[in-house]
Amino acid sequence: MKRRSLFLISAMVFGFAFLYVPIISLIVYSFNKSKLVTVWAGFSTQWYGALLQNDQILQAAWISLRIATLNATVAMALGTIAGFVLARFKRFRGRTLFTGLVTAPLVMPEVITGLSLLLLFVALESIIGWPSGRGFATITIAHITFSLAYVAVIVQSRLADMDESIEEAALDLGARPLKIFFMITLPIIAPALVAGWLLAFTLSLDDLVIASFVSGPGSSTLPMVIFSKVRLGVSPEINALATILVALVAVGTIIAGVAMLRSQKVRERDVQMAAADN
Protein backbone atom coordinates (compact mmCIF):
# COMPACT_ATOMS: atom_id res chain seq x y z
CA MET A 1 0.00 0.00 0.00
CA LYS A 2 1.14 3.44 -0.85
CA ARG A 3 1.88 5.66 2.08
CA ARG A 4 0.32 9.08 1.97
CA SER A 5 2.80 11.84 2.38
CA LEU A 6 2.98 13.55 5.71
CA PHE A 7 2.71 16.89 3.98
CA LEU A 8 -0.61 16.10 2.36
CA ILE A 9 -2.08 14.80 5.60
CA SER A 10 -0.99 17.82 7.61
CA ALA A 11 -2.24 20.17 4.88
CA MET A 12 -5.63 18.48 4.99
CA VAL A 13 -5.83 18.58 8.79
CA PHE A 14 -4.82 22.20 8.87
CA GLY A 15 -7.28 23.11 6.11
CA PHE A 16 -10.24 21.48 7.80
CA ALA A 17 -9.22 22.91 11.15
CA PHE A 18 -9.04 26.36 9.61
CA LEU A 19 -12.57 26.00 8.27
CA TYR A 20 -14.31 24.24 11.11
CA VAL A 21 -12.58 24.91 14.45
CA PRO A 22 -14.30 28.30 14.87
CA ILE A 23 -17.71 26.79 14.17
CA ILE A 24 -17.11 23.80 16.42
CA SER A 25 -15.95 25.98 19.30
CA LEU A 26 -19.03 28.13 18.80
CA ILE A 27 -21.27 25.08 19.01
CA VAL A 28 -19.44 23.69 22.02
CA TYR A 29 -19.66 26.97 23.92
CA SER A 30 -23.36 27.29 23.18
CA PHE A 31 -23.79 24.39 25.65
CA ASN A 32 -21.66 26.12 28.27
CA LYS A 33 -23.21 26.72 31.67
CA SER A 34 -21.13 29.75 32.39
CA LYS A 35 -22.17 33.21 31.32
CA LEU A 36 -18.57 33.88 30.38
CA VAL A 37 -18.01 32.66 26.89
CA THR A 38 -14.39 31.74 27.42
CA VAL A 39 -14.74 29.73 30.61
CA TRP A 40 -16.15 26.22 30.50
CA ALA A 41 -18.37 25.49 33.48
CA GLY A 42 -20.22 22.33 32.49
CA PHE A 43 -22.94 21.27 30.05
CA SER A 44 -26.23 23.09 29.91
CA THR A 45 -28.97 23.93 27.40
CA GLN A 46 -30.12 26.95 29.37
CA TRP A 47 -29.09 29.44 26.67
CA TYR A 48 -31.43 27.81 24.20
CA GLY A 49 -34.22 28.31 26.68
CA ALA A 50 -33.18 31.91 27.23
CA LEU A 51 -33.16 32.42 23.47
CA LEU A 52 -36.82 31.45 23.27
CA GLN A 53 -37.57 34.08 25.93
CA ASN A 54 -35.68 36.82 24.12
CA ASP A 55 -38.33 38.81 22.27
CA GLN A 56 -35.84 41.07 20.59
CA ILE A 57 -34.09 38.18 18.86
CA LEU A 58 -37.31 36.34 18.04
CA GLN A 59 -38.79 39.45 16.52
CA ALA A 60 -35.66 40.14 14.48
CA ALA A 61 -35.65 36.56 13.24
CA TRP A 62 -39.29 36.85 12.21
CA ILE A 63 -38.60 40.10 10.33
CA SER A 64 -35.59 38.56 8.62
CA LEU A 65 -37.56 35.51 7.51
CA ARG A 66 -40.40 37.60 6.12
CA ILE A 67 -38.02 39.91 4.27
CA ALA A 68 -36.02 36.97 2.92
CA THR A 69 -39.13 35.17 1.67
CA LEU A 70 -40.67 38.21 0.06
CA ASN A 71 -37.32 39.25 -1.41
CA ALA A 72 -36.63 35.78 -2.82
CA THR A 73 -40.04 35.57 -4.45
CA VAL A 74 -40.01 39.00 -6.06
CA ALA A 75 -36.34 38.72 -7.06
CA MET A 76 -37.07 35.35 -8.66
CA ALA A 77 -39.89 36.79 -10.76
CA LEU A 78 -38.03 39.93 -11.85
CA GLY A 79 -34.69 38.13 -12.23
CA THR A 80 -36.29 35.49 -14.45
CA ILE A 81 -37.68 38.16 -16.74
CA ALA A 82 -34.31 39.91 -16.91
CA GLY A 83 -32.47 36.63 -17.49
CA PHE A 84 -34.93 35.68 -20.21
CA VAL A 85 -34.41 38.97 -21.99
CA LEU A 86 -30.63 38.63 -21.74
CA ALA A 87 -30.66 35.07 -23.06
CA ARG A 88 -33.31 35.29 -25.76
CA PHE A 89 -33.05 38.72 -27.32
CA LYS A 90 -29.84 38.37 -29.24
CA ARG A 91 -29.50 41.88 -30.52
CA PHE A 92 -31.27 45.00 -29.40
CA ARG A 93 -30.28 48.59 -28.88
CA GLY A 94 -28.52 49.01 -25.56
CA ARG A 95 -28.11 45.27 -24.89
CA THR A 96 -24.61 45.73 -23.48
CA LEU A 97 -25.80 48.56 -21.28
CA PHE A 98 -28.71 46.46 -20.06
CA THR A 99 -26.43 43.49 -19.32
CA GLY A 100 -24.09 45.78 -17.42
CA LEU A 101 -26.90 47.34 -15.44
CA VAL A 102 -28.36 43.98 -14.49
CA THR A 103 -25.08 42.44 -13.40
CA ALA A 104 -23.46 45.51 -11.82
CA PRO A 105 -24.86 44.81 -8.34
CA LEU A 106 -22.85 41.56 -8.32
CA VAL A 107 -19.59 43.48 -8.15
CA MET A 108 -20.77 46.71 -6.52
CA PRO A 109 -19.41 47.18 -2.98
CA GLU A 110 -22.30 46.70 -0.57
CA VAL A 111 -21.50 49.97 1.14
CA ILE A 112 -22.10 51.82 -2.13
CA THR A 113 -25.32 49.95 -2.82
CA GLY A 114 -26.57 50.62 0.68
CA LEU A 115 -25.62 54.27 0.69
CA SER A 116 -27.10 54.99 -2.74
CA LEU A 117 -30.35 53.26 -1.83
CA LEU A 118 -30.54 55.23 1.40
CA LEU A 119 -30.07 58.48 -0.50
CA LEU A 120 -32.72 57.40 -3.01
CA PHE A 121 -35.25 56.58 -0.28
CA VAL A 122 -34.63 59.85 1.48
CA ALA A 123 -35.02 61.80 -1.75
CA LEU A 124 -38.18 59.89 -2.68
CA GLU A 125 -39.68 60.59 0.71
CA SER A 126 -39.16 64.30 0.37
CA ILE A 127 -40.48 64.39 -3.20
CA ILE A 128 -43.45 62.00 -3.26
CA GLY A 129 -43.81 61.21 0.42
CA TRP A 130 -43.07 57.49 -0.04
CA PRO A 131 -41.57 55.52 1.57
CA SER A 132 -42.46 57.34 4.76
CA GLY A 133 -39.59 56.49 7.01
CA ARG A 134 -37.44 53.42 6.54
CA GLY A 135 -38.14 49.91 7.69
CA PHE A 136 -39.49 46.64 6.42
CA ALA A 137 -40.39 47.90 2.93
CA THR A 138 -37.12 49.69 2.24
CA ILE A 139 -35.01 46.72 3.37
CA THR A 140 -37.05 44.42 1.13
CA ILE A 141 -36.68 46.72 -1.88
CA ALA A 142 -32.96 47.07 -1.24
CA HIS A 143 -32.51 43.32 -1.02
CA ILE A 144 -34.51 42.75 -4.19
CA THR A 145 -32.31 45.14 -6.15
CA PHE A 146 -29.19 43.14 -5.51
CA SER A 147 -30.54 39.58 -5.33
CA LEU A 148 -32.34 40.12 -8.64
CA ALA A 149 -28.94 40.25 -10.33
CA TYR A 150 -27.99 36.82 -9.00
CA VAL A 151 -31.25 35.26 -10.15
CA ALA A 152 -30.89 36.87 -13.56
CA VAL A 153 -27.42 35.42 -14.02
CA ILE A 154 -28.51 31.94 -12.94
CA VAL A 155 -31.59 31.95 -15.20
CA GLN A 156 -29.64 33.35 -18.11
CA SER A 157 -27.03 30.63 -17.96
CA ARG A 158 -29.69 27.92 -17.69
CA LEU A 159 -31.52 29.34 -20.70
CA ALA A 160 -28.29 29.52 -22.66
CA ASP A 161 -27.89 25.75 -22.10
CA MET A 162 -31.45 25.01 -23.14
CA ASP A 163 -32.01 23.84 -26.71
CA GLU A 164 -33.84 26.75 -28.33
CA SER A 165 -35.48 24.48 -30.86
CA ILE A 166 -37.65 23.13 -28.03
CA GLU A 167 -39.40 26.49 -27.94
CA GLU A 168 -39.48 26.61 -31.72
CA ALA A 169 -41.09 23.17 -31.78
CA ALA A 170 -43.87 24.41 -29.50
CA LEU A 171 -44.30 27.47 -31.72
CA ASP A 172 -44.43 25.20 -34.75
CA LEU A 173 -47.13 23.06 -33.12
CA GLY A 174 -49.40 26.06 -32.74
CA ALA A 175 -48.72 27.44 -29.27
CA ARG A 176 -48.35 31.18 -28.86
CA PRO A 177 -45.19 32.70 -27.34
CA LEU A 178 -46.70 33.60 -23.95
CA LYS A 179 -48.19 30.13 -23.53
CA ILE A 180 -44.86 28.57 -24.50
CA PHE A 181 -43.10 30.58 -21.81
CA PHE A 182 -45.36 29.19 -19.12
CA MET A 183 -45.90 25.67 -20.44
CA ILE A 184 -42.48 24.83 -21.88
CA THR A 185 -39.76 27.26 -20.83
CA LEU A 186 -40.65 27.71 -17.16
CA PRO A 187 -40.97 24.00 -16.33
CA ILE A 188 -37.64 23.30 -18.03
CA ILE A 189 -35.77 26.04 -16.20
CA ALA A 190 -37.59 25.40 -12.89
CA PRO A 191 -34.47 24.05 -11.16
CA ALA A 192 -32.70 27.32 -11.95
CA LEU A 193 -35.64 29.24 -10.46
CA VAL A 194 -35.48 27.17 -7.28
CA ALA A 195 -31.73 27.71 -7.06
CA GLY A 196 -32.23 31.43 -7.65
CA TRP A 197 -34.92 31.61 -4.99
CA LEU A 198 -32.75 29.84 -2.43
CA LEU A 199 -29.77 32.02 -3.22
CA ALA A 200 -31.83 35.20 -2.94
CA PHE A 201 -33.28 33.94 0.34
CA THR A 202 -29.84 33.25 1.77
CA LEU A 203 -28.36 36.52 0.57
CA SER A 204 -31.15 38.45 2.21
CA LEU A 205 -31.00 36.43 5.41
CA ASP A 206 -27.33 37.16 6.02
CA ASP A 207 -27.04 40.69 4.71
CA LEU A 208 -25.89 43.14 7.33
CA VAL A 209 -24.39 46.09 5.49
CA ILE A 210 -27.21 47.08 3.15
CA ALA A 211 -29.90 46.43 5.76
CA SER A 212 -28.06 48.68 8.22
CA PHE A 213 -28.22 51.55 5.75
CA VAL A 214 -31.88 51.32 4.87
CA SER A 215 -33.51 50.03 8.03
CA GLY A 216 -35.42 52.14 10.47
CA PRO A 217 -36.51 51.89 14.09
CA GLY A 218 -38.25 48.63 14.95
CA SER A 219 -37.15 46.85 11.82
CA SER A 220 -33.79 45.41 12.78
CA THR A 221 -33.01 42.20 11.01
CA LEU A 222 -31.43 39.23 12.71
CA PRO A 223 -27.86 39.94 11.50
CA MET A 224 -28.22 43.52 12.73
CA VAL A 225 -29.33 42.38 16.18
CA ILE A 226 -26.55 39.82 16.41
CA PHE A 227 -23.98 42.35 15.33
CA SER A 228 -25.13 44.99 17.79
CA LYS A 229 -25.24 42.45 20.63
CA VAL A 230 -21.75 41.16 19.88
CA ARG A 231 -20.39 44.67 20.06
CA LEU A 232 -21.40 44.69 23.70
CA GLY A 233 -19.62 41.39 24.27
CA VAL A 234 -20.34 37.89 23.03
CA SER A 235 -23.15 36.30 24.97
CA PRO A 236 -23.76 32.54 25.08
CA GLU A 237 -27.25 33.21 23.77
CA ILE A 238 -25.77 34.32 20.47
CA ASN A 239 -23.74 31.12 20.40
CA ALA A 240 -26.97 29.15 20.78
CA LEU A 241 -28.62 31.14 18.03
CA ALA A 242 -25.65 30.62 15.72
CA THR A 243 -25.69 26.88 16.49
CA ILE A 244 -29.34 26.69 15.45
CA LEU A 245 -28.55 28.52 12.21
CA VAL A 246 -25.62 26.20 11.47
CA ALA A 247 -27.84 23.17 12.12
CA LEU A 248 -30.55 24.50 9.79
CA VAL A 249 -28.06 25.16 7.01
CA ALA A 250 -26.45 21.73 7.46
CA VAL A 251 -29.79 19.90 7.37
CA GLY A 252 -30.89 21.88 4.31
CA THR A 253 -27.67 21.13 2.46
CA ILE A 254 -27.82 17.43 3.30
CA ILE A 255 -31.44 17.14 2.14
CA ALA A 256 -30.67 18.92 -1.12
CA GLY A 257 -27.59 16.76 -1.68
CA VAL A 258 -29.44 13.50 -1.06
CA ALA A 259 -32.31 14.56 -3.31
CA MET A 260 -29.92 15.45 -6.12
CA LEU A 261 -28.01 12.20 -5.75
CA ARG A 262 -31.18 10.17 -5.82
CA SER A 263 -32.61 11.90 -8.92
CA GLN A 264 -29.29 11.43 -10.66
CA LYS A 265 -29.35 7.70 -9.87
CA VAL A 266 -32.91 7.36 -11.14
CA ARG A 267 -31.90 9.15 -14.30
CA GLU A 268 -28.89 6.92 -14.89
CA ARG A 269 -31.02 3.83 -14.42
CA ASP A 270 -33.61 5.16 -16.89
CA VAL A 271 -30.95 5.87 -19.48
CA GLN A 272 -29.54 2.35 -19.09
CA MET A 273 -33.01 0.89 -19.43
CA ALA A 274 -33.62 2.88 -22.60
CA ALA A 275 -30.33 1.73 -24.06
CA ALA A 276 -31.14 -1.90 -23.21
CA ASP A 277 -34.54 -1.63 -24.94
CA ASN A 278 -33.04 -0.84 -28.24
Partner 1 sequence: MASSTTFSTFEPWKDPAEKPYVCIDRVTKKFGDFVAVNDISLDIYRKELFCLLGASGCGKSTLLRMLAGFEEASSGRILIDGMDMAEIPPYERPVNMMFQSYALFPHMNVSQNVSFGLKQEKLTGQVIKTRVEEMLELVKLTQFAKRKPHQLSGGQRQRVALARSLIKRPKLLLLDEPLAALDKKLREHTQFELMNIQEQLGVTFIVVTHDQQEAMTLATRIGVMEEGYIAQVGTPTEIYEFPGSRFVADFIGSVNSFEGRITVDEPDHVIIRMLDQDVDIFVDHGVSASPNARVWAAIRPEKIHISRTDPGQARNVIRGKVKEIAYMGDFSIYLVELAGGRTVRVTQPNLRRGDPERITWDEQVFLHWLPSSIVVLTE
Contacting positions for partner 1 (CB under 8 A): 163, 165-166, 168-176, 184, 187-188, 267, 270-271, 273-275, 277-278
Do 71 and 144 touch, CB atoms closer than 8 A?
Answer: yes
Q: Which is nearer to partner 1, 192 or 241 (CB)?
A: 192
Distances (CA, A) of 55 to 37, 50, 58: 22, 10, 5
Residue closer to partner 1 (CB basis): 188 or 245: 188
Least Å distance, CB 246 to partner 1, is 36
Q: How far is the CB of 272 from partner 1 (least distance, A)?
A: 10
**Angstrom distances, CA of residue 232 to CA of 102, 148, 226, 238:** 39, 34, 10, 12
Q: Which string of DSSP letters, residue by residue, matches 123-159? A: HHHHHH--S-S-SHHHHHHHHHHHHHHHHHHHHHHHH
Bridge partners of 32? 43
Shortest distance, CB of residue 176 to partner 1, whole angstroms?
A: 6
Compute the C-alpha angle 8/13/17, nearest 5°: 145
CB of residue 191 to partner 1, shortest distance in Å: 11
Which of 20/270 has CB closer to partner 1?
A: 270
- DSSP string covering 199-218: HHHHHHHT--HHHHHH--TT
To partner 1, the closest distance from the beta carbon of 121 in angstroms equals 42
Nearer residue to partner 1 within complex by CB, 58 or 175 = 175
CB of 92 to partner 1, least distance (A): 15
- The span from the CA of 74 to the CA of 120, in Å, is 20
Beta strand residue intervals within 9-58, DSSP E: none
Give the 3-state secondary structure of residue 32. strand
Q: How far is the CB of 99 from partner 1 (least distance, A)?
A: 21
Taking alpha carbons only, the member of 5, 17, 47, 44 closest to residue 234 is 47
Q: Which is nearer to partner 1, 154 or 170 (CB)?
A: 170
55 versus 163: smaller Cβ distance to partner 1 = 163
Cβ-based nearer residue to partner 1, 126 or 278: 278
